[in-house]
């Protein structure tokens, strides 16, 4: 199998606070993890690519200082939304892939609501 977990599944926070989302590959080592954002009834929008032990690569238009990504081990990546604002409210999904494989396995997603 290829199971990816995310925590928390949903979070509500006040504007100006920071929120950390964890993504874990439970039964395989993930050399690369990806973070996506998804708006209702739309496809996935890639935010950044995270490789274990190196800095994340951000897509154009994504603020790296606002969305901090850390990939400290082959099974864990974290996304921290810093100084969250209501416009950051969204569904955030992570995925992971094995070394040299193209298939990505997705986590269950995290619903973030910033008040």
Residues in contact with other proteins by CB under 8 A are 2, 4, 6, 32, 34, 41-44, 46, 49, 57, 91, 93, 95, 97, 102-109, 111
Name the minimum Å distance from CB 84 to other proteins.
20
When the beta carbons of 46 and 76 are compared against other proteins, the nearer one is 46
Name the minimum Å distance from CB 68 to other proteins.
20
Dump the DSSP string for 40-90: TTS-EEEEEEEETTS--EEPTT--TTTEEEEEEETTEEEEEE-S--GGG-E
CA nearest to 23, candidates 33, 12, 13, 31: 33
When the beta carbons of 57 and 80 are compared against other proteins, the nearer one is 57
Tell me if the bond preceding 60 is cis, omega within 30° of 0: no
Name the minimum Å distance from CB 36 to other proteins.
9
Name the minimum Å distance from CB 83 to other proteins.
26
């Amino acid at each position: 199998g290829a199971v990816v977990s995310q925590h928390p599944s949903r979070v509500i926070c006040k504007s100006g606070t920071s929120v950390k989302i964890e993504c874990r590959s439970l039964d395989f080592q993930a050399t690369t993890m990806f973070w996506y954002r998804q708006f209702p009834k739309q496809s996935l929008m890639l935010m950044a690519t995270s490789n274990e032990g190196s800095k994340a690569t951000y897509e154009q238009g994504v603020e790296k200082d606002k969305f901090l990504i850390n990939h400290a081990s082959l099974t864990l990546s974290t996304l921290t939304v810093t100084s969250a604002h209501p416009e950051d409210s969204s569904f955030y999904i992570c995925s992971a892939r094995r070394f040299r494989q193209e298939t990505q396995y997705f986590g269950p997603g995290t619903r973030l609501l910033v008040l």
